[in-house]
Chain A
């Protein structure tokens, strides 16, 4: 279906990534946001607080990030599309509720505008060091989706994607922005509502007596219901059976937890989002994401101008990681160069996927600013040797 025109600010705008992300959420149909102030992410909900009273919806500033990250889940079960926004320390506090959303298959979006860490770190400066936390931060085995925009335009486009994917797979989706992308201002084109594809929530068509809340369809995702419609359903963070009732058995645990991961397989096998350039003849492939991909772009240009066959692989879906795409490339390139604003996170995934078939060279940076393109270029030159 198409976007509800009420939330779509069609036109050409000059917006920063945070504001653009908010417009993406509104266009996607989000009518509920809960937040807690934290730099450099707060502008997203500041804009939402300003916009939503005339669109029709709720913004509530909660008492902390734990509250914000579970208030959105209450709203979802009442029928809303909902999201919260934070940065490093707040993201750490939200981990328990990312696990709850995964376990209860609650579609919702967590925006993390990454800053330098650990702890309070660099509140106003960029980092990309929450990438592993986004995937593994809550306890237990579960799957999530993480998207990495590299421009304000993508903050708009991918926020819509984030909501759509959360509905399709019933998982929490992480928008892994960074301070640079969040605070840089560029042209953002917001299209007409009837050109914006929205994935509606899939509500059950079964009557209450036949409906089993966690009975998966063929695609391993169950149909939803919302409170107040006579289904008298139960949702729990405990291991549960298809009725939603707690089941402390080993078999129920195995069935449920394996399904929580297996339902995301289509995304790691072929449907992952990425942007590639010059891979056909590449000797060296630069794998990057977020703001770092824009610095990498310059380094790749410089390398090409020196006659080095460098290619670009930009991760848009960071999780599930596009293992098969990287593995296929590993069989025919010399090396991967992986710059990121952390001391080596996604590079571990590239190494795992490459499985020894190609060299993998990290270009780490502790954060606080972006790489110098020359640093990445040097790594490309070294890799091509």
Chain B
């Protein structure tokens, strides 16, 4: 008889990230080899390592594959309307500044339908931590073109190839005023976790772009292989250039991927600016906001 090896999972054993997830909602909806789960894993590591009080962390997501993250995070979590996570998060943050508010969304949501909110929140330096999982397509709806879908790529709505120029998300974030801008891929799990941990400790508008594979729609249509092929591409094409000028970090279909932390600057955030202005204008008449009412 051939001896068999069975992997016994001891009673009570759990994945270290389980306490951060709504395990009663598993399994999740994401496809095999999708990168969103990897980013969530990095995010839970960042929550663990940053030792933030999880009761004071709120996560806001919206529509799309990445929009489902809030539903799986065991935090105060909000799944709102397409493109509008940032203004919802703005209200949440301003009414209770004690909250650490994380916006977790996709490229189509944040930069097409929600693009205006993104630039204004960055301009205001609203204390929000925006994580954008960029899979270069609208995946939930079947792989249509996004403002990030690179030239020549085929999508459900660009069957003959994309010809529109794309947004360079990190350059946009920096130009609009973000305090922190970084880009990683789902290959760079350590670096991504560290960036997420950094933004949880930073005040102001922070933006992390994470390049993430979509084998089901984007890669299949573009004959770019499976999830493993995406990892190989990320590994081979990525160049870590911390502090690189964001204007030089444009992404393309199969070219170099510049990753790293590009911007980390200190600007007064919205609430600090508000307080300074009101104190200057009103002196002792200024009353600190107490939006949360007892009634």
Contact = CB atoms under 8 A, between A and B. Distances in A.
Contacts of B286: 53-54
Tell which of A34, A71, A201 has the most Cβ of chain B within 10 Å.
A71
Interface string A66-85: 11101111111111111000
Given A63-B117, A70-B81, A70-B84, A78 B70 contact: no
Given A31-B289, A32-B91, A54-B287, A78 B99 contact: yes
Max chain A CB contacts within 10 Å: which of B54, B96, B99, B295? B295
B293 A29 contact: yes
Interface stretch (B72-80, B141-149, B153-161, B166-174): B72-80
Interface string A44-73: 000000000111111010111011101111
Contact of B92 (A31, A78, A200, A234): A78
A235 B293 contact: no
Contact of B77 (A34, A97, A234): A234
Contacts of A385: none
Nearest to B83: A66
A161 B53 CA distance: 38
Contacts of A236: 70-71, 78-79
A321 B99 CA distance: 40
A213 to B, nearest CB: 10
B58, B60, B87, B90 — which one has the most chain A CB atoms within 10 A of its CB? B87
Which of A1, A55, A77, A200 neighbours the largest number of chain B CB atoms within 10 Å of its CB? A77
Interface in B46-86: 54-56, 58, 60, 70-71, 74-81, 83-84, 86
Contact of A74 (B22, B25, B88, B294): B88
Interface in A172-206: 198, 200-201
B87 A67 contact: yes
B289 A74 contact: no
A228 B117 contact: no
Contacts of A64: 116
Interface residues of A, number: 54
B11 interface: no
A100 B90 CA distance: 17
Contact of B94 (A4, A60, A200): A60
Contact of B88 (A54, A70, A200): A70
B9 interface: no
Interface in A258-285: none
A216 B288 CA distance: 35
Given A31-B289, A198-B295, A229 B92 contact: no
A227 interface: yes
Contact of B91 (A29, A78, A81, A238): A78
A211 interface: no
Interface string B271-295: 0000000100010011111111111
Contacts of B89: 74
Contact of B289 (A57, A68, A230): A57
A235 B54 CA distance: 17
A66 B71 contact: no
- Which applies to chain A's interface (DSSP): helix, strand, loop or mixed? mixed
Contact of B80 (A60, A100, A231, A245): A100
Interface residues of B, number: 49
A54 to B, nearest CB: 5
A32 B95 contact: yes
B58 A79 contact: no
Contact of A228 (B56, B287, B289, B291): B56
B273 to A, nearest CB: 12
A71 B90 contact: yes
Contacts of A228: 55-56, 58, 76, 96, 98-99
B88 A32 contact: no
A269 to B, nearest CB: 27
B287 A79 contact: no
Contact of B87 (A4, A6, A62, A232): A62
Contacts of B265: none
A57 B271 CA distance: 12
B220 interface: no
B238 to A, nearest CB: 34
A149 to B, nearest CB: 22
Contacts of A71: 87-88, 90-91, 94
B190 interface: no
Contacts of B295: 1, 4, 29, 81, 198, 200-201
B77 A56 contact: no
B291 A78 contact: yes
Interface string A9-47: 000000000000000000001011010000000000000
B94 A75 contact: yes
Nearest to B293: A29
Given A53-B282, A54-B286, A80 B293 contact: yes
B120 interface: yes
B140 to A, nearest CB: 12
B288 A66 contact: no
Interface in A135-164: none
A226 interface: yes
A5 interface: no
B74 A232 contact: yes
Interface of A: 1, 4, 6, 29, 31-32, 34, 53-58, 60, 62-64, 66-68, 70-82, 96-97, 100, 198, 200-201, 226-238, 245-246
25 contacts: A1-B295, A31-B290, A32-B91, A56-B290, A58-B291, A62-B90, A67-B90, A67-B120, A75-B94, A76-B95, A78-B92, A78-B94, A78-B96, A79-B292, A80-B293, A81-B293, A81-B295, A231-B76, A232-B54, A232-B55, A232-B75, A234-B70, A234-B78, A236-B78, A237-B79
Interface of B: 22, 24-25, 54-56, 58, 60, 70-71, 74-81, 83-84, 86-96, 98-99, 116-117, 120, 278, 282, 285-295
Pick the 6 closest A-B CB pairs, nearest first: A74-B91, A79-B292, A78-B95, A56-B287, A74-B92, A67-B87
Given A67-B87, A80-B291, 7 more contacts: A53-B286, A54-B282, A62-B120, A66-B87, A79-B96, A234-B79, A237-B80
